[in-house]
Structure 1
């Protein structure tokens, strides 16, 4: 197990390095370079030269990359001229909010999707199964921004049950103090995951119901509920637990749109505003953090699968 984890960690480091190289190259492919993108189209040649000299952009690309790589390793992602604040401090402020939003939506996903998938599998090819399958396909295919707009239109504008905007105060305290304003963002972000997780759960339960050990348990006189709870569910949950680790990048991708729709001040909204303002240091920092989270999620998924399923060879 230790050797497997070490190998996966080395692979994770390699993947993150490749991501940083790609992002670094793309940053230097911008028309006019990073200086023109940050200073604007009216910047003079002298201003651009001064900016390049001050930030090391006049040095060879290899030297620039390793200099920036050393800064990224220490948590220094540069300075946002647009916001007049270091990128690291912005990430520290916004990241906890995005993490809480993602965790709450993930909890809601598991609470709804697991029982839903089990019920569909037990009552397969019945009316409820067909309806739930159709809704799952709709929510799985629908864009996040469309779901968010519909949620605001129905539950905020028409019914007036929830605020159309997420809590705007700094810190994570307002998230729980004004939790009614978090309902729509959490549900919007969770609906896509519920659609996918419930389908996986349904398929996993169906695969296990037909196994020999289930027929043996039934032949011994075990009740259907005991067979489901003590035999089928334990093995059927393995793919879902693995998906939890793989869902980290998907949650951030959904959070980017969800936070923009509900004006939730997290990393997703920060990235959206940085893209509109051409604030490339902020975009770079968010992309690197997201790449790191993706690699960590994949590592956790691999290790958890190996721990939960002894049949997996490391």
Structure 2
């Protein structure tokens, strides 16, 4: 297992290099220069040229890329062009706020999806299954931002039950105030995550119900409920563990739209503001972070599957 993990990490290094190269290339192909975010019409050409020299933008592109990658390897993500703050300090502040929102939402949706998906598979082609499948399809079709705006209108404006933006009221950092701000974005994210997960569990469970081991259990007199929850469920959990590992990037970038709508002070608002203000160092840092989490999530899902299923360890 240890050799396998080392091998996978070694395979991830070229992928990380490719991610940094793609991010850097795409940013450099953008129609606006990074200096455009900090220049004003009153600046002279000499002042603009001085700014470009200060940020190293007059150097050849390969030199800029190598310098940027070297800084990343040192843990130095650079400074914001607009606010002149250290990007790593901003991320240390924003990422925990995003995790506080996304992690409980996704884990709630994950657990509910297993229960509801198995229940739908148990009642395949019956009325309750059609209702669940229709609701899940509708949930996939409804945009998250529309659902968030609807929640704000109903519970924030019309009924005036919940605050509509932020994570705390100014001057109130209590847990109760946090929960009031947390409820609406949490529910929106749970609904957004739940639809896809339910269909995934239902499809996997129906596939497993057609396997030979199910026929063997039926031949031994096992009930359908016993087969579903004692045998099928554990085989369904294996692909769900893979999906759980691949969802790791969601902890950072999984709620960009929802955070923006609710003005939740996490990575989402930070990322959108960086894009709108052409703050390219922040954009590149978040893209590289997200891509790295995809690779790490893939590695974690493989390791978890190998720990859960002995057959995978034998194959490896």
Please report the TM-score for the alignment, with normalisation by the length of structure 2: 0.90
Q: How far 1:12 sits from its partner (Å)? A: 2.1
**Structure 1 segments unaligned to the other structure (5+ residues):** none
Q: Which residue of 1 aligns with 2:184?
A: 184
Q: How far 1:169 sits from its partner (Å)? A: 6.7
The total of aligned residue pairs comes to 312
Once residues 307 and 92 of structure 1 are traced to their aligned partners in structure 2, the CA distance between those partners, rounded to angstroms, is: 32
CA contact under 8 A between 1:98 and 1:266: conserved in structure 2? Answer: yes
SS at match of 2:133: helix
**Structure 2 segments unaligned to the other structure (5+ residues):** none
Q: Which residue of 2 aligns with 1:66?
A: 66
Q: Deviations over 1:242-287 (max 9, x none)?
A: 1011123356554110100000000111001111222222212211
Once residues 168 and 83 of structure 2 are traced to their aligned partners in structure 1, the CA distance between those partners, rounded to angstroms, is: 17
Q: Which residue of 2 aligns with 1:2?
A: 2
Going from structure 1 to structure 2, the CA distance change for 1:208 and 1:3 (only over 3 Å counts) comes to same
Q: Deviations over 1:129-184 (max 9, x none)?
A: 111111111111222211211222233333334322241479xx756752121111
Are 2:80 and 1:85 aligned? no
Of residues 213-222 and 71-80 in structure 1, the stretch that sits farther from structure 2 once superposed is: 213-222
CA contact under 8 A between 2:24 and 2:65: conserved in structure 1? Answer: yes
CA contact under 8 A between 2:168 and 2:177: conserved in structure 1? Answer: no
Going from structure 1 to structure 2, the CA distance change for 1:165 and 1:225 (only over 3 Å counts) comes to same
Once residues 7 and 215 of structure 2 are traced to their aligned partners in structure 1, the CA distance between those partners, rounded to angstroms, is: 40
Q: Which residue of 2 aligns with 1:39?
A: 39
CA contact under 8 A between 1:38 and 1:279: conserved in structure 2? Answer: no
Q: Which residue of 2 aligns with 1:11?
A: 11
RMSD: 2.2
Going from structure 1 to structure 2, the CA distance change for 1:51 and 1:174 (only over 3 Å counts) comes to farther
Q: Which residue of 2 aligns with 1:126?
A: 126
SS at match of 1:216: helix
Once residues 291 and 175 of structure 1 are traced to their aligned partners in structure 2, the CA distance between those partners, rounded to angstroms, is: 33
Q: Which residue of 2 aligns with 1:228?
A: 228
Q: How far 1:114 sits from its partner (Å)? A: 0.9
Once residues 54 and 174 of structure 2 are traced to their aligned partners in structure 1, the CA distance between those partners, rounded to angstroms, is: 40
Q: Which residue of 2 aligns with 1:164?
A: 164
Please report the TM-score for the alignment, with normalisation by the length of structure 1: 0.90
Once residues 273 and 242 of structure 2 are traced to their aligned partners in structure 1, the CA distance between those partners, rounded to angstroms, is: 33
Q: How far 1:104 sits from its partner (Å)? A: 0.8
SS at match of 2:59: coil
Going from structure 1 to structure 2, the CA distance change for 1:174 and 1:114 (only over 3 Å counts) comes to farther
